[in-house]
Amino acid sequence: MRIDRLRPSFVADIPETLEPGVLYLALEYDAMAHLCACGCGAEVATPIGPTDWRIAWNGVGMTVRPSIGNGSLACRSHYVIEAGRINWCAPMSDRDIAGERARTAAAKGLTPYPSARQAEPPEPQIAQPLAAQAPWYIRAWRQIVGS
Ligand SMILES: [Zn+2]
């Protein structure tokens, strides 16, 4: 069943089991996770950062930018979280996914990319399954050593 709202839950760490309709935020680790809003049950991890997802709280709900494109999930759902509400977008096509991977990599400085294109905002961004991401301490270390 599709979810149309995500309620924020501020946690010390992302729990093992996620509940539908909850947007978990572990700000200490810049970590954010929720179950895919389409109802498929997949965990969607959206790390918080300047080249990842950005969040804003308006006192009613959490706004998350850019959109959440679940191109790596079977459902390929794609939506925007706006003040806690899910605004649905068209499912991601293969072309969206390939284009977005390149843009995201360029935004993160991983691949050379023409400078004119580099200014484009990375939208939507591919969310990776939770397990595919490096633990926070590895990411923190990489930031420190700059690799
Ligand atoms: Zn889904």
Q: What is the pLDDT of residue 115?
A: 44
3-class SS of residue 140: helix
Taking the centre of ligand 1 as the mean of its atom positions, its distance from the CA of residue 72, in whole angstroms, is 10
Q: Tokens 């978990």, residue?
A: 24
* Residue ranges per structural domain of the chain: 7-93+125-136
Q: Specify the DSSP class assigned to residue 19.
A: P
Rounded to the nearest 10°, the torsion over CA 141, 27, 110, 71 is 130
pTM of the predicted structure, to 2 decimals: 0.69
Residues 70/44, Cβ–Cβ less than 8 Å: yes
Question: How many angstroms separate the alpha carbon of residue 30 from the centre of ligand 1?
Answer: 23
Per-residue pLDDT of the chain (147 residues; tens, 9 = 90+): 899 999 999 999 999 999 999 999 999 999 999 999 999 999 999 999 999 999 999 988 999 999 999 988 999 999 999 999 999 998 878 877 787 777 777 777 765 544 444 445 556 677 766 655 666 666 677 777 765
